[in-house]
Amino acid sequence: MNQHLHQSPPQRWGCFLFLLLHLQLHVPADACYTSIFSFGDSITDTGNTYFISPQLTPNCLIPPYGQTYFHHPTGRCSDGRIILDFIADYMAIPHLTPYLAFKNGVVPRGTIHHGLNFAIAGATALDRTFFEDKGFVVDPTTNYSLTVQLDWFKDLLPSLCTSPSSCKEVLSSSLFIVGEIGVNDYGYLLEEETTELAKLTPYIHQIVSVITSVIRELINLGAVTLMVPGSIPLGCNPGYLTELATTNKEEYDRSGCLKWLNKLYGQHNELLQIELGRLRVLHPNVNIIYADYFNAALQFYRSPEQFGFGRDFIKVCCGGGGPYNFNGTAVCGDAGAIACDDPSEYIYWDGYHYTEAAYRWMAKALFDGPYTFPKFSFSCITPETSGDFNNRAMK
């Protein structure tokens, strides 16, 4: 880590970001990708949680999870599809198989030709030992950090290709999605360390450093196109709004989100973009795309009616009561929790994860809006293909 940057206060990060984003970048031309390899946490998990024991988030594996699209639980922590599914739909690629399903022989070997998903609920960017060394109380099953997922991918490589040339062909035609990751790290820190922003800020460098280190390794392995999502605005998260509630109205913005908490994740995203800018300079022939999940989601709170969300949009669809319909003793899936009639009117499905409707709008924002840098596009996507995606997404 650059020592000068490490000592710079957060308000100066924007200056570094401005300079790096305005460098002349030489990125590859748009291409058509045949597979996706994805890394992350519960926002991206498509079922890896099924194959660990004891399970990290058992409620994501029982009804009413999955009710909207799949009509049964799939391991996705939502009522239906997540952003990763919509990206696959957009690229006309089958929804990604969880890596642990492949490893356990549950799915045929041929499924890996379209890629695999390594993301798993509860994952952190930092390794478990980081939190243990600081004396934090860590879930005994929290052992699926981003570096562990990278090791899974390395173990997979012999199954993907038989020679260096075939590996180059496979990896160059694949989209790698690294994240979203880090929110669980901050979750531990918020629980065990402090809610003072100044004391949390130093951890941002450590978390972002791990993310960029994994990106460098993937590039060295042959990855040519990587999408790196930033953090979502967890200051708007009903779980945190419940746990960190305050009577001081000045702590909230006009949308009802906690300003200081969104500032923390905003600083994470700023530093992440700075580091991605540096990687682009070091690897001019690699396309590194930043996906602005933060602002893509924040627009829901600013103009909920524009996206079809109802007047109770700030509450969760599936919960057990309280100001935000979130109750830690009766979370979605528990006997005391009830799901709403129409999840599409809500941004959050449970206390921590979005509804399929919100994920669909976020994905559409990535494809059509100003929420990726460089612009997320593919030469093989035609107006007809895009139309097919929109039709599939609305079903």
Span 346-362, average pLDDT: 97
Q: Inform me whether the pLDDT recorded for 350 exceeds 80.
A: yes
- What pLDDT, on a 0 to 100 scale, did the predictor assign at position 190? 87
CATH class of this structure's domain 3-23+30-299+358-374: alpha beta
Closest CA to 373 of 43, 17, 38: 17
Q: How far apart are CA 51 and CA 75, in angstroms?
A: 10
Residues 6+ apart with CB under 8 A from 181: 39, 40, 41, 123, 124, 125, 146, 211
Catalytic residue among 41, 45, 185, 350: 350
* Residue 343: how many other CB atoms lie within 10 Å: 24
Of the listed ranges 5-19, 299-313, 326-340, the least confidently predicted one is: 5-19
**% of the chain beyond a pLDDT of 90:** 69
Q: How far apart are CA 26 and CA 42, in angstroms?
A: 33
Of the two residues 216 and 29, the one the predictor is more confident about is: 216
Radius of gyration of the chain from its Cα atoms, rounded to whole angstroms: 20
Of the listed ranges 6-10, 246-250, 296-300, 347-351, the least confidently predicted one is: 6-10
Whether residue 319 contacts residue 331, with contact meaning beta carbons closer than 8 Å, is answered with yes
Of the two residues 388 and 191, the one the predictor is more confident about is: 191
Of the two residues 142 and 288, the one the predictor is more confident about is: 288
Q: How far apart are CA 380 and CA 10, in angstroms?
A: 40
Span 18-41, average pLDDT: 63
- What pLDDT, on a 0 to 100 scale, did the predictor assign at position 200? 86
Give the pLDDT confidence of 224-261 residue by residue, as tens digits.
999 999 999 999 999 999 999 999 999 999 999 999 99
* Residue 145: how many other CB atoms lie within 10 Å: 24
How open is the CA angle 257-119-348, to the nearest 5 degrees? 30
Span 316-330, average pLDDT: 95
Q: Would you call 353 a catalytic residue per the annotation? A: yes
- What pLDDT, on a 0 to 100 scale, did the predictor assign at position 386? 52
Span 168-175, average pLDDT: 92
At 109 the three-state DSSP class reads helix
**% of the chain beyond a pLDDT of 70:** 85
Tell me the pLDDT band of 320, cut-offs 50, 70 and 90: very high
Q: How far apart are CA 326 and CA 317, in angstroms?
A: 9
Q: Sign of the C-alpha dihedral, residues 47, 48, 54, 56?
A: negative
Span 375-390, average pLDDT: 57
- What pLDDT, on a 0 to 100 scale, did the predictor assign at position 6? 35
Tell me the pLDDT band of 141, cut-offs 50, 70 and 90: low
Please give the C-alpha separations between residue 164 and each of 112, 130, 176, 267, 287, in angstroms, as whole numbers.
18, 35, 19, 39, 21
- What pLDDT, on a 0 to 100 scale, did the predictor assign at position 24? 37
Q: What is the mean pLDDT of the chain?
A: 87
Domain ranges of the chain: 3-23+30-299+358-374
User: How would you classify the pairing of strands 338-339 and 318-319?
Assistant: antiparallel
Q: How far apart are CA 208 and CA 221, in angstroms?
A: 20
Helix locations, the chain, DSSP H:
3-7, 13-21, 83-90, 99-103, 128-133, 146-160, 164-172, 183-192, 197-221, 238-243, 259-282, 293-302, 356-368, 383-394
Peptide bond into 28 cis (omega under 30): no
Q: Inform me whether the pLDDT recorded for 13 exceeds 80.
A: no
Q: Would you call 350 a catalytic residue per the annotation? A: yes
Catalytic residue among 95, 114, 268, 353: 353
How many whole angstroms from its chain centre is CA 78? 13
Whether residue 103 contacts residue 159, with contact meaning beta carbons closer than 8 Å, is answered with no
Q: Would you call 166 a catalytic residue per the annotation? A: no
Catalytic residue among 42, 145, 174, 344: 42
Span 64-87, average pLDDT: 97
322 φ, ψ to 5°?
105, 175
Residue reference for tokens 């820190």: 189
Span 131-144, average pLDDT: 78
Q: How far apart are CA 358 and CA 70, in angstroms?
A: 16
Q: How far apart are CA 308 and CA 391, in angstroms?
A: 17
